[in-house]
Amino acid sequence: MEATAQVNALVVPDNHLIYDVIVGRDFLEQEDIVTIKRGNDLIFKQLPAINDKSENIVDINFSNIERAGDDIAKYTSGIKEEAKQQCTELLNHFRDCISFSITDLGKTDAAALNIRCTSDVPVVYRPYRLAESEKRIVREIIQELLTNDIIRESSSPYASPILLVKKKNGEYRMCVDFRKLNAITVKDKYPMPLIEEQIDKLGGSRYFTGLDLASGYYQVPVAANSVEKTAFVTPEGHYEFPRMPFGLTNAPAVFQRLMDKVLGDLKNSIAFPYLDDVIIPFNTIEEGMTRLSKVLEAFRRQHLTLKLEKCSFFQNPLNT
């Protein structure tokens, strides 16, 4: 695939140059561009298109992570006055169901990701090229994930490549390209909820609470015999996921099955799950407290934790 790129060019008289063209480092270090030298020729090629919004690619966000204060009250300051104190007390009671950073994520034993493939031939890629500045960022991301047991060093025969993508907000996203592995994975056919049906069931409720699990997929283990298939390579190392990564084709089905199991009889009666989001409808503050307590108790039994920054309590209309 020949590469195309938009660049600013400075044009000067060529009778003063001994070279056909001078290419600057800022051009060479553009994302998704690789260079190949053949004799006196320098060839520019473009990496295969990666859709960083696709579920087929692991999406790992990076930013300078600072542990948030454990003051739960600041996350309930925006809710209705008559519910604020009760909600704060309830969340403090379920403090073990809350993650303030990646360092205290839950880990359930109610589900595990199994990867069954149609071929026994391992998926193997060489690492994609990264600029030195990108390598430094990847090292920090890798160290954060290693420290918190999200990944570990690997000697697996599998090796999917990674890319680093800069987002509009300045943070970086490390993407593991699992497309080749997904192509040979036997698909899990567990049904996903229909959004339209969920909305219909929520009609008529006065208030809503919206819960969001903290890095929900990372709270699910990968089955021991499948960990090697999650392996990926950077230019400087080889790693694998003992926790379920984003981007694997069966991850949504595994997670939805887990949520349905965790909520049990609460599902579609007082709580409506869609992947790592759960909506709790109610008509009175007392009813809302009772329902929230039941859902948190279910999460506690299965060692799941919430991210309060993404939760909305006692809202009308729902704001998630």
Q: How does DSSP assign 276-320, residue by residue?
A: TEEEEEESSHHHHHHHHHHHHHHHHHTT--B-GGG-EEEESS---
User: Is pLDDT above 80 for 50?
Assistant: no
The predicted pLDDT at position 55 comes to 47
How confident is the model over 4-24, as pLDDT tens digits? Answer: 666 666 555 554 444 455 565
At 125-171, the pLDDT tens digits run: 999 999 899 999 999 999 999 999 999 999 999 999 998 888 788 88
Query: By C-alpha distance, which of 74, 80, 120, 114 is closest to 98?
Result: 74
pLDDT score of 186 more than 80: yes
Residue with more model confidence, 73 or 237 = 237
Task: State yes or no: pLDDT of 209 exceeds 50.
Answer: yes
Range with the poorest average pLDDT among 73-87, 88-102, 239-253: 73-87
Who's near 6: CB < 8 A, 6+ residues apart? Answer: none
The stretch 28-45 carries a mean pLDDT of 54
Q: Return the pLDDT at 200.
A: 79
**Confidence (pTM):** 0.75
Could you report the per-residue pLDDT of 108-122, keeping only the tens digit for each? Answer: 999 999 999 999 999
Domains and CATH numbers, the chain: 93-315 (3.10.10.10)
Residue among 278, 280, 296 nearest 288 (CA): 280
